[in-house]
Amino acid sequence: MTNNQSATEHILQFINNENNAVLHEIQVNAGEKIEYSYIHSSDGTPVKQIFTLTQDGTLKLLEERYSWQGAGLETGADKEITVEDGEVRVTGYDRKFSELTLRVARTVPQNIVTQRESLKLSDIAPGGTSITIKTNAK
């Protein structure tokens, strides 16, 4: 954290796992929502996962939305599941992540949306690249 950053500001970093290169950075604030959207690889349903950034830089999953059920998507009895505007909305998560590791898709779009920026992952790395998304929090 630089002297110009307050305790609630963080940098969301996108790191190439092969060489640890920082591919992209986005400034985010604690409490800010971060949306990760993609198309489910086998079922083709659009999926949105909405996180919030905690004070310590952890990503907390708030909700997941999708148009229809796909393999591996949440259906647990311990979650609140509603249908809004034609989408299944799942809330009640108690999941926190210090980082998210994923592979950039070769065939479908994956996007990260914050208050400041909308980023298509294939614009920062070719399909097949393993990346980690994390904040600069210590």
51-84, pLDDT tens digit by residue? 999 999 999 999 988 876 655 566 666 777 777 8
Domain membership flag for residue 5: no
pLDDT confidence of residue 25:
96
pLDDT confidence of residue 92:
81
Burial class (CB in 10 A: 0-12, 13-18, 19+), 34: buried
Give residues with Cβ within 8 angstroms of 132, minimum separation 6. Answer: 14, 15, 17, 99, 100, 101
Label residue 4 by pLDDT band (50, 70, 90). very low
Domain membership flag for residue 77: yes
Q: How far apart are CA 131 and CA 96, in angstroms?
A: 18
Domain membership flag for residue 105: yes
Domain membership flag for residue 54: yes
The per-residue pLDDT of the chain, averaged, comes to: 86
Q: Is residue 109 pLDDT above 80, yes or no?
A: yes
CA dihedral 31→35→36→42, nearest 10 degrees, is 130
3-state SS class at 122 = helix
Domain membership flag for residue 111: yes
Quote the pTM value.
0.84
Q: How far apart are CA 1 and CA 6, in angstroms?
A: 8
Domain membership flag for residue 70: yes
Domain membership flag for residue 69: yes
Domain membership flag for residue 119: yes
Q: How far apart are CA 137 and CA 115, in angstroms?
A: 19
Q: For the chain, what percent of residues have pLDDT higher than 90?
A: 59
The domain tally of the chain equals: 1
pLDDT confidence of residue 89:
83
113 lies in which domain range?
31-123
